[in-house]
Amino acid sequence: DGGITQSPKYLFRKEGQNVTLSCEQNLNHDAMYWYRQDPGQGLRLIYYSQIVNDFQKGDIAEGYSVSREKKESFPLTVTSAQKNPTAFYLCASSLTGSTEAFFGQGTRLTVV
Amino acid sequence: AQKITQTQPGMFVQEKEAVTLDCTYDTSDPSYGLFWYKQPSSGEMIFLIYQGSYDQQNATEGRYSLNFQKARKSANLVISASQLGDSAMYFCAMREDNTDKLIFGTGTRLQVFP
């Protein structure tokens, strides 16, 4: 079945460690997105990518990095520079100009 | 700059009544799309409805309709005949077609009571 997959669902890391969140889609979508959601809050855009080997910063890119080496994959690295990394992270994808963006199930990251 | 505003942190509605969730936006791109998503407590994002900036008619999907007022830059979601299962967070979003940048509002928590 076509879809967008985030893994893992829950992730625990020690403070000061980098961690990479996976996002894979088999929908042949051009655009991919990463969002951060804190409890009771909205989705804030971290990074997005329109095409392979290109990506743009969103509103809260500091402390995060991404790559887009393949159309299907858009991994997000939460670096030790991110002051408050504990949050729910959502990945999304869409066709350029399409009427819907599809979301993964999310990764809940807890840094202790 | 691209911006989405939802001014209602929480709303209550009685079952079977209609409710309107407000959303205003700002953009300099003449071509854009507006979206509404529902997020239940499980965290998944459920797509509800889409409105393109050049669409002449308001979008409708079952019990959901989007009241699109382009001159006022508003895209309110109307849910008719509310059900208990409609209790969730609702997010308005906008994508500028020139950049594909997709941003979300802060959300409205809707609670439906019997």
Q: What tens digit of pLDDT does each residue of A91-109 get?
A: 999 988 788 899 999 999 9
Tens-place pLDDT, residues A47-79: 999 999 999 999 999 999 999 999 999 999 999
Q: How far apart are CA B41 and CA B87, in angstroms?
A: 9
Residue A99's CB is within 10 A of a number of other CB atoms, namely 16
Residues of A in contact with B52 (CB under 8 A): 99
Tens-place pLDDT, residues B73-109: 999 999 999 999 999 999 999 999 888 899 999 999 9
Residue B55's CB is within 10 A of a number of other CB atoms, namely 15
Tens-place pLDDT, residues B42-67: 999 999 999 999 999 999 999 999 99
Residues A99, B95: C-beta atoms closer than 8 Å: no
pLDDT at B87: 98
Give the per-residue SS3 of B24-81.
Answer: EEECCCCCEEEEEEEECCCCCCEEEEEEECCCCCCCEECCEEEEEECCCCEEEEEECC
- Cα-to-chain-centroid distance, residue B73: 13
Residues of A in contact with B102 (CB under 8 A): 31, 33, 45, 48, 92, 94, 101
A34, A37, A60, A110 from A14: Cα distances, Å: 22, 20, 22, 9
Cβ of residue B104 closer than 8 Å to a chain A Cβ: yes
Cβ of residue B111 closer than 8 Å to a chain A Cβ: no
pLDDT at A81: 87
pLDDT of residue A2 exceeding 90: no
Confidence of residue A1 (pLDDT cuts 50, 70, 90): low
pLDDT of residue A90 exceeding 90: yes
**Hey, which residues does A93 pair with through a beta bridge?**
A32, A102
3-class secondary structure, A39: coil
pLDDT at B1: 80
Residues whose CB is less than 8 angstroms from the CB of residue A35 and which lie 6 or more positions away in sequence, other chains included: A43, A44, A45, A46, A89, A90, A91, A92, B104
Nearest-CA distance from A96 to chain B in Å? 7
Which DSSP state fits B85?
Answer: G
Contact B103, B21 (CB under 8 A): no
